[in-house]
Amino acid sequence: MAALRTAVPVLALLGLCLGPAAAVTPLVIWHGMGDSCCNPVSMGYIQKVVEKKIPGIYVLSLKIGSNLIQDMENSFFMNVNDQVSEVCSQLATDPHLQGGYNAMGFSQGGQFLRAVAQRCPSPPMLNLISVGGQHQGSVYGFPRCPGESSHICDWIRKTLDLGAYTKAVQEHLVQAEYWHDPLKEEDYRKSSIFLADINQERGINQTYKKNLMALKKFVMVKFLNDTMVDPPISEWFGFYKSGQAKETIPLQETSLYKEDRLGLQEMDKAGKLVFLGVQGDHLHFSEEWFDSTILPFLQ
């Protein structure tokens, strides 16, 4: 009995020292244009890879709408600000996410999740991974469109050319909301209802800045052979020099960075910004690259 009485406190002490196994941080994914939450060759595949490599992880692949068709259509036609509000509501009511989560956005989903980070700090986003997101705007020239959506994109291209910054187009066409024409900078700053807002083009929202700076890491992946995003450097927060559409400048030479309107300069100096390049066209990468380069940010 004496030995048993001695063993119990020792075991209890060990339990206190070791504690429970650390919980795996949940992951939220937002797909790109013309895609859906659960496409087995895109987001569904990514979700399975993550779940296989990180046992026990909770993955939420965002769906905007009541079914996959609506989800795909909304990636073209649902006001981005409304989409972001819908996602903020989803995250706030998901019990798995209340302790914080990592976020990974693909193409336009990258800047949409950045808007979530800036506008909705609860539950907290810990790390943001933007895979081909167009953070200074796109798609100037709208060169092509994914998969079976080419007929939609032909119509979108004509609509954007006719009036990207008109109120009707801005409110009902997703791609217009991050259309950044370097030849019409004033129109962009005045009329862009989404990107100009989250990029602090019309004034400084200190809450946006504070919330973004709360990220542990902001990872930006640029596709080095991208033929869809114009200019590709937008994926690293760079863009064309104002007033022309040939010469580009990196983030560090933009007024956004120099004036530190979003806190990116301070984040950069603190080592919070990560710039990754991968060979390949837009969203073309290998599972090996994903495993070795992206998964470490989720573990």
22 located within any domain: no
6 located within any domain: no
Written as six digits, the tokens of 215 are: 């990220």
pLDDT band for 159, please (50, 70, 90 cuts): confident
201 located within any domain: yes
> Residue 105's CB: how many other CB atoms inside 10 A?
25
CA 40 and chain centroid, separation: 20
Domain of 142 in residue numbering reads as 27-297
> Highest mean pLDDT range out of 147-151, 183-187, 263-267?
263-267
pLDDT at 65: 96
User: What percentage of residues in the chain have a pLDDT greater than 90?
Assistant: 77
Mean pLDDT of the chain: 89
Give 30's DSSP letter.
E
1 located within any domain: no
Mean pLDDT across 196-212? 97
14 located within any domain: no
Q: What is the pLDDT of residues 104-140, one digit of tens each?
A: 999 999 999 999 999 999 999 999 999 999 999 975 6
Contacts 24+ apart (CB under 8 A), 205-210: 205/118, 207/118, 208/118, 208/119, 208/262, 209/261, 209/262, 209/263, 210/263
Mean pLDDT across 26-51? 96
260 located within any domain: yes
pLDDT at 239: 95
Active-site residue list: 107, 226, 282
Give 215's DSSP letter.
-
Mean pLDDT across 57-85? 96
pLDDT at 154: 74
91 located within any domain: yes
Task: Verify cis geometry, omega within 30 degrees of 0, for the bond prior to 123.
Answer: yes
36 with 72: CB under 8 angstroms?
Answer: yes
Q: What is the pLDDT of residues 19-31, one digit of tens each?
A: 444 689 999 999 9
Task: Write down the residue that tokens 């979530």 correspond to.
Answer: 116
Assign residue 210 the CATH number of its domain: 3.40.50.1820
Residue 14 has pLDDT above 90, yes or no: no
Total domain count, the chain: 1
Q: Which amino acid is at 298?
A: L
CA distance 299 to 293: 12
Residue 243, CB half-sphere, CA atoms under 13 Å: how many? Answer: 0
224 located within any domain: yes
Residue 155 has pLDDT above 90, yes or no: no
